[in-house]
Amino acid sequence: MAAELNKLTDEKLMELIQKHHHAAFATLVRRHTHRFYAVAYRSLFNQSEAEDIVQDAFLKIWNKPTIWKAGRGAKFTTWFYRVVVNGCFDYDKKKKPYLLDEAHEIPEDSALMAETVERESRYGMMEDAIRRLPERQRIALNLCFYEGLSNKEAAAIMNVNLKALQSLIMRAKTTLRETISSDIGDVA
Amino acid sequence: MNGDDQILEYLLKDIPVMPPSSNLEERIISAAVPHAEKERSLPFSEWLLHLTIPRSAYALAFTLVLGVLVGLAAPSDLSVSSDPDMIDSFLYDDEGIL
């Protein structure tokens, strides 16, 4: 049964989910959880919040599967990016202050510590720089750079036109270059 | 792509994604167990334990029971008894039978 479901496309699975087929839902969750978790994580830089957003997004399609309109020609993943991205936008509206999470804990071994401190400070600097970007710039960068979506797809997900999306990415990159160069020297 | 962009991309790509909890997928799947299935699997004793009656329903039931008890206990002066004189007093007035 599970093997048969694994052969189905996301869109076919969604049709089954609309008939309350729990195994189809499980297949879809197992297929895409990590991918969409990464999207949410790169927007929020917090494990538990990213997990909550992905869980909410999947439960939304289980509890109200009719929000997916089959037959419009849209791919499930493109549509689901929008659900997750909207979740991130909603979260950003009620954002909490920045906290250093477990990913940046530093080991006690001295050699390892020096290397870790250097790496962590670089990660931390980049994370901070991305975190400080306006949310739309951050999401645009996330979709185009990390997810490898085309500008057209990312624009559709963010509900903006192509020029607006290109402008968001350009401004994000400019801001990042400026931030990095002021923090570590001559990057730009 | 110029050198600046390459450095920027290198730094961006270098940021790790903290892996999700190992049970995230199963957590999502179990959170979506059909509601009907959840209700069906609930035994009667469990259902009884979870049964909550609103306070207003208690008040209404209590008032009804009290009303019935008071009604039963009160002397039945107004009731139409089998006393024939009482029945006559309904059937006749001063001028004769209705």
List of E strands, chain B:
92-93, 96-97
Query: Phi and psi of B15, rounded to 5°?
Result: -70, 120
How many Å lie between the alpha carbon of A182 and the closest alpha carbon of chain B?
A: 13
Classify the C-alpha dihedral A182-A188-B6-B9 as positive or negative. Answer: positive
Per-residue pLDDT 10s for chain B (98 aa) are 566 677 777 878 778 888 998 889 999 999 987 655 655 556 677 667 766 777 788 888 999 999 999 988 877 665 555 566 666 666 666 655 55
A167 interfacial to chain B (CB closer than 8 Å)? no
Cα→Cα distances B90→B6, B84, B87, B97, Å: 109, 10, 5, 10
Which residues 88-127 in chain A show a CB within 8 A of chain B?
A: 101-103, 122-123, 126-127
Q: Are B31 and A57 in contact (CB under 8 A)?
A: no
Cβ within 8 Å, pair A50-B34: no
Q: Do A180 and B11 touch (CB under 8 A)?
A: yes
User: Which residues in chain B have Cβ-Cβ distances shorter than 8 Å to A29?
Assistant: 25, 28-29
Q: How far is B49 from chain A (nearest CA, A)?
A: 27
Beta-carbon contacts of residue A149 (< 8 Å; ≥ 6 apart): A81, A143, A157
Q: For every one of its 188 residues, what pLDDT tens digit does chain A have, with 9 covering 90 and above?
A: 677 888 899 999 999 999 989 999 999 999 999 999 999 998 888 899 999 999 999 999 999 988 888 766 778 998 999 999 999 888 877 765 544 444 445 455 666 656 655 655 666 778 888 888 898 999 999 999 888 899 999 998 898 999 999 999 999 989 888 877 776 654 44
Q: Is B1 on the interface with A (CB under 8 A)?
A: no
ipTM here? 0.74
